[in-house]
Structure 1
Amino acid sequence: MTAPATAPHDHSQPYATIADSYDRLLDWSSRNWDESPRTRVGDFLDTLWAGRDEPVRTVIELCCGTGAVLEELAERGYTVAGLDRSAPMLEQARARLGPAVELVRSELPDIPAGAAYDALISVGTGLNYLASPDDFARTLESMARTVRPGGPVVFDLLSVRMLTVDAVEGFAQRPIVEFDDSSFFWTYEHNAAEGYCDLTYTRFQRCPGAADELFTRTRELHRIHLRERELVERLARQAGFTDIAVYDNYAQRPASEETQYEVWTMVAPS
């Protein structure tokens, strides 16, 4: 293999260079780390919302990424909209969902929604990227304004165990993910003092049409913040949410100390 051509490293915008591979990485995570596939997410939401006095018809997703969950919900009959800060991810979502679905580029805690939705979700641990408890609190307050009074809110977070125990072991065992046209090498560092973890993706992308095996290298830094359950619940109550519960990875069972993906459900203030 020849020496790779080097593209500028991007440490400021997660998913700036890997949006086109995100769905494949998500499929890999579902197979290897039990990240919930979108069908499991859809089943969980259908069950949660079934039988409500006020039916759920319109749903907005924060940190919607490539729109895979929005597509799943649209196929189940919901009217959907999405918000994300990454333009490349929204481009993938637009190609998947078509021109009729509202997709907005914005960064939390700002949620520039023009109307209240029946329900709000955030799937894929996007809220772990919020840099401080204050940002998290302000995002919860924005959520409460975006969903109709008494509407359901669902979001997921990587648990503290996942970020401090399981991920360390997982990345040590599987530091390389290989596809036909590219390979990912990732490193993982936990900063206990500051309460965050740095996940660095280095991608080697095969150059199309090259006579030999020439690759382009890009790199992204994803800074993921730990959020203790006690803090999340306290901030949610401060924002006026009620009926707060935590489930284990989109299954109908409460979260435990072994839970990796915490699924938070709550009801917006009336």
Structure 2
Amino acid sequence: MSAGPEDDHGYGAPYSALAQIYDRWMAADRIPYDQWLSFAGKRFVESGLEVRTVLDVCCGTGMTMKALQDHGYEVTGVDASAAMLDVARTRTTPGTELLCFAVPDERLAELGPFDAALVCFDGANYLTGEDGLAATLRQLAQALRPGGVLVFDLSTRRTFEEIAALGEFGEDFGDFAYIWNTRHEPDTPAYEYLVSLFVPEGELFRRSVEQHAQRHFTRDEVRNALRATGFTDIAVSDNYTDRDATDTTRRESWSARRTTGSIPR
């Protein structure tokens, strides 16, 4: 999910160029979309709700949306990247509602009500602004019906530190290549990634550079934000499994339910 348009340094907006090769890259990395859907489905069943409508925030190219639709769910997608949504339109059911804006945004709270909401694959790590996580969770609570289910994931501090330790790295896929650079502001949870992408253009390759800003959160920060914004039945596990999250967890999977009472504003 992108945070905004091209910045003053001339970098492209996140996923503006990556959109055209994103699915190819994710397929090479064997991203387990089926595992995410299975985990979410278990949380839906455990809620006791009849989950039919799902809001997919940071929906990207629509891989998760398509899987949900194939299982009979009615899905609405939100993403900040118009280029990613263009790909999603080719994959999802004709007429699927796909909305282009970055979160937090009050428009999110005005959607629904939905039975469930998802924020998969590090989408919440892009919430770098002050109170960005709390504001987005509050808006998601307002978009869910009472008792509605929220499932999201977060890359952990361990993951960010491991990526930063690699320094500059890249890979040549033949039909495209990339170079990845990590910048970290010391003593903060904030990280900046510069992704240089090379894609064929005639007999040459065109280079695009995108700037991505992310951060990690402590479990206490996440739990406190969930409780403060109207969620209960909070649980966290290791990477879309039923295993407990530990200090070695690289991706945490969170689930919670929208309280049946009023939502704090």
Whether TM exceeds 0.5 here: the answer is yes
Q: What is the rounded CA distance, in whole Å, between the counterparts of 1:129 and 1:12 in structure 2?
A: 16
Specify the alignment match of 1:155 in structure 2.
Answer: 152
Percent of residue pairs identical: 33
Query: What TM-score do you get using the length of structure 1 for normalisation?
Result: 0.87
Are the structure 2 counterparts of residues 112 and 17 from structure 1 closer, same or farther at C-alpha, using a change threshold of 3 Å? Answer: farther
**Rg larger for:** 1
Q: Is the 8 A contact 1:9 1:218 kept in 2?
A: no
For structure 1, which segment, 108-117 or 37-46, has the greater mean C-alpha deviation from structure 2 after superposition? 108-117
Residues 262, 56 of structure 1: alpha-carbon distance in 2 compared, 3 angstrom cutoff: same
Q: Counterparts of 1:152 and 1:10 in 2: how far apart (Å)?
A: 39
Amino acid at match of 2:141: A
- How do residues 1-270 of structure 1 correspond to structure 2 at under 5 angstroms? 10-11=10-11, 13-30=13-30, 36-50=31-45, 52-110=47-105, 111=108, 113-164=110-161, 166-169=162-165, 171-172=166-167, 175-208=169-202, 210=203, 214-270=204-260
Distance across 2 between alignment mates of 1:234 and 1:87: 32
Structure 2: distance between partners of 1:133 and 1:244: 23
Q: Output the CA distance in 2 between the equivalents of 1:175 and 1:86.
A: 25
CA distance, structure 2, for counterparts of residue 39 and residue 79 of structure 1: 17
SS at match of 2:59: coil
Whether the aligned pair in 2 keeps the contact of 1:27 and 1:37 (CA below 8 Å) is: no
* Distance of 1:19 and 1:48 partners within structure 2: 30
CA distance in 1, matches of 2:10, 2:94: 29
Q: What secondary structure does 1:65 align onto?
A: coil
Q: Which runs of 5+ in 1 are unaligned?
A: 1-7, 31-35
CA contact under 8 A between 1:160 and 1:226: conserved in structure 2? yes
Higher relative contact order (CA 8 A, sep 6+): 1
Change (3 A) 1:232 1:133: farther
Q: Distance in 1 between matches of 2:180 and 2:9?
A: 14
For residue 51 of structure 1, report the CA deviation from its aligned partner. 5.0
Query: After the TM superposition, which of the residue ranges 36-45 and 64-73 deviates more from structure 2?
Result: 36-45
1:33 alignment partner in structure 2 = none
RMSD of aligned alpha carbons: 1.9
